[in-house]
């Protein structure tokens, strides 16, 4: 068992730093320098045991994901990540668990040059809150409220794999037969679920090009609905235009489309751009190694409709995740 | 029961705003403007049910305190509060409870012109994390590492009342006889425990004057120990110099000193200042309405010693609160 101070020391040793950190972990607050001409982007997300993850999730993956879901919000704004705080509630201070958790967190932090500058460790049911800070050139941030009628709707990567990974884990835990996949496919889906890649470079590349953008955390239809509501428009998605990743190819279309439309946790970017900007979008994203696919259009009205000539998809188009649904 | 979106809407309606908030609640991240010549101060604190508060604490007080403990950290840096995020895990979405909680939070936020710019609501055991952001003129922040041998040690207000309030609540819950207090004294102690006042104005006034500063959250001796460790010095406290508030006057000296030395939750500022600066300290604090008392000195060596000629105080001088003590 570790004391609270040993625990903080263990985290502090892996916190990283940057030239713009005047004062990091260890005082009442961190002191940070925001460069002139920039806006500060701030986002905060919590992961709770039994709600956002199974208790036996590998701690490395949990540390990774707790930071990743926040960096993904910064990506969706077109911001460059800079600093974060970590508030960790733990039922007990197990050094091996903590070291693996911090490893996962620090590995992703290093990749994006994020310094951990403060936080809190306390006893309680396992819960992880991260508040992440990014920098974006003033006036260039990607927002939800800029979609215009006639714009195209795009998605990076291929959504649905994280939801398929979650369905697999659930089936295995309940002893139900898993959906069609092999061992390689299973491993791939679990990585997509447990170690999401925040699309930072893609978000940066889309500044000045995307009219609206967000990350898909609640499900593609629900999240696109947020863009529609914020922008005062509607949107249509062509079910047949969605990219079908290899790991989902063997699924029945209705099952696959449910994962792709309503599954959260992919952390791909859904964005809108002028209808004549296809070449510009592809050119901007090419250096980032992240592909995007045009999957629909912005229309007058409100809400999100699915065009599905084969009739595979029949669920409510607004079915996202609501933590408080009875 | 509220849906997650109703719940966010209810919080958002009370979030407040400021001219430097480019974009508040409702996008992937908030966008904020930091004025040039300033550093950003960031702090994050969590309150968990059963650890930091009893389940039946009035929700107004809980909302107040969740923000207050964070603003107190900004006060200890000499920073002016600006923005915060709120991550709320709730077992259920009870509208009456939530409204009272947000009332308490928003009341204190308004008093200090703090805008709530983002956060997260999720299902889980009751837990509240706030990350608060303040602004401080570059190079003027109060830190823990500036105490010098020969400096005087000071405390604002009178510590120990929050700890006495907690002891009262514990005694009442366990049916034990309460320590000596009357109904007025009881009410005063509970306010001190449940609605702490962040010493923002005092922290601002001490810039350029205090050599080191922090807020007392773990107990005076433990927290002064943090200043000593960060500054590479030792400290001595005169037990007889501590201000004795009326509500603690009837307690046995040994009980009172235990509350005053080891009780957390007062959120007074403990600071050091040059030995010849008494008049300057009093003059700087006078307009803030917060008094301070000189209670000891910075010495060579390390750790914190108590000078107690009457021998009332016998506990370990390092007894602070450790969440992971077995």
Q: Please indicate whether, in this complex, the C-beta atoms of A29 and B76 are within 8 angstroms of each other.
A: yes
**Cα–Cα distances in Å, from A80 out to A33, A41, A272, B132, B201?**
14, 9, 20, 21, 34
As given in the structure block, the two tokens for residue A294 are 């045009």
Picking from B7, B83, B322, the nearest residue to A4 by CB comes out as: B322
Q: What is the CA radius of gyration of chain B?
A: 20
In sequence order, the β-bridge partners of residue A118 are: A85
In B, minimum Cα distance to A124 occurs at B48
As given in the structure block, the two tokens for residue A82 are 């800079």
Q: How far apart are CA A182 and CA A193, in angstroms?
A: 16
Query: Nearest CA of chain A to the CA of B278: how many Å?
Result: 24
As given in the structure block, the two tokens for residue A151 are 């714009």
CB B221 within 8 A of CB B319: yes
Three-state SS for A46? strand
Q: Please indicate whether, in this complex, the C-beta atoms of A93 and B324 are within 8 angstroms of each other.
A: yes
pLDDT of B304 above 70:
yes
pLDDT of A302 above 50:
yes
Which 8-state DSSP code applies to residue B179?
A: P
As given in the structure block, the two tokens for residue A181 are 């996949």
A79 confidence band (pLDDT: 50, 70, 90): very high
pLDDT score at B93: 76
Query: Nearest CA of chain B to the CA of A225: how many Å?
Result: 13
Residues of A in contact with B76 (CB under 8 A): 28-29
Residues of A in contact with B144 (CB under 8 A): 26-28
Q: How far apart are CA B198 and CA B208, in angstroms?
A: 20
As given in the structure block, the two tokens for residue A265 are 């946790």
Picking from A123, A132, A324, the nearest residue to B123 by CB comes out as: A324
Q: How far apart are CA A156 and CA A307, in angstroms?
A: 20
A182 confidence band (pLDDT: 50, 70, 90): confident
Picking from B27, B45, B51, the nearest residue to A124 by CB comes out as: B51
Q: How far apart are CA B298 and CA B147, in angstroms?
A: 7
pLDDT of B320 above 70:
no
Residue showing tokens 């029961």? B1
CB A70 within 8 A of CB A128: no
**Cα–Cα distances in Å, from A242 out to A226, A237, A258, B130?**
19, 9, 12, 39
Percent of chain A with pLDDT over 70: 94
Query: Nearest CA of chain B to the CA of A112: how many Å?
Result: 17
Quote the mean pLDDT of chain A.
92
pLDDT score at A324: 53
Residues of B in contact with A134 (CB under 8 A): 29
The better pLDDT of the pair A323, A186 is held by: A186
- Chain B contact probe: residue of A21, A28, A226 with most B CBs at under 10 A: A28
Residue A6 is inside which H or E element, if any?
helix A4-12
Residue B292 is inside which H or E element, if any?
strand B292-299
E strands present in A157-288: 212-215, 234-238, 269-273
**Cα–Cα distances in Å, from A319 out to A223, A224, A316, B3?**
10, 12, 6, 13
B99 is annotated as contributing to ligand binding: no
pLDDT score at B133: 98
Picking from B52, B122, B322, the nearest residue to A48 by CB comes out as: B122
């Amino acid at each position: 068992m570790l004391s609270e101070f040993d625990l903080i020391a263990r985290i502090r040793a892996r916190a990283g730093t940057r030239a713009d950190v005047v004062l990091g972990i260890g005082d009442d607050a961190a002191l940070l320098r925001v460069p002139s001409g920039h806006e500060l982007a701030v986002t905060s997300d919590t992961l709770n045991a039994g709600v956002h993850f199974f208790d036996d999730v590998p701690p490395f993956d949990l540390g990774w994901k707790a930071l990743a879901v926040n960096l993904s919000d910064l990506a969706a704004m077109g911001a460059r990540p800079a600093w974060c705080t970590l508030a960790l509630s733990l039922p007990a201070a197990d050094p091996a668990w903590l070291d693996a958790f911090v490893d996962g967190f620090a590995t992703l932090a290093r990749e994006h040059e994020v310094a951990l500058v403060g936080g809190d460790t306390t006893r309680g049911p396992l819960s992880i809150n991260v508040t992440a800070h990014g920098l974006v050139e003033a006036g260039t941030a990607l927002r939800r409220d800029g979609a215009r009628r006639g714009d195209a709707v795009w998605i990076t990567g291929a959504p649905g794999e994280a939801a398929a990974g979650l369905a697999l884990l659930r089936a295995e835990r309940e002893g139900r037969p898993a959906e069609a996949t092999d061992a390689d496919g299973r491993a791939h889906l679990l990585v997509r679920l447990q170690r999401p890649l925040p699309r930072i470079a893609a978000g940066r590349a889309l500044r000045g090009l995307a009219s609206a953008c967000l990350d898909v955390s609640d499900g593609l239809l629900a999240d696109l609905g947020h863009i529609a509501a914020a922008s005062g428009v509607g949107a249509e998605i062509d079910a047949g235009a969605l990219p079908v990743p290899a790991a989902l190819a063997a699924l029945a279309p209705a099952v696959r489309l449910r994962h792709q439309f309503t599954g959260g946790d992919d952390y791909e970017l859904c964005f809108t751009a002028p209808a004549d900007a296809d070449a510009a979008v592809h050119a901007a994203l090419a250096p980032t190694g992240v592909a995007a696919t045009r999957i629909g259009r912005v229309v007058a009205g409100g809400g999100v409709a699915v065009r599905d000539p084969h009739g595979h998809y029949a669920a409510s188009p607004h079915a996202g995740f609501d933590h408080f649904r009875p």
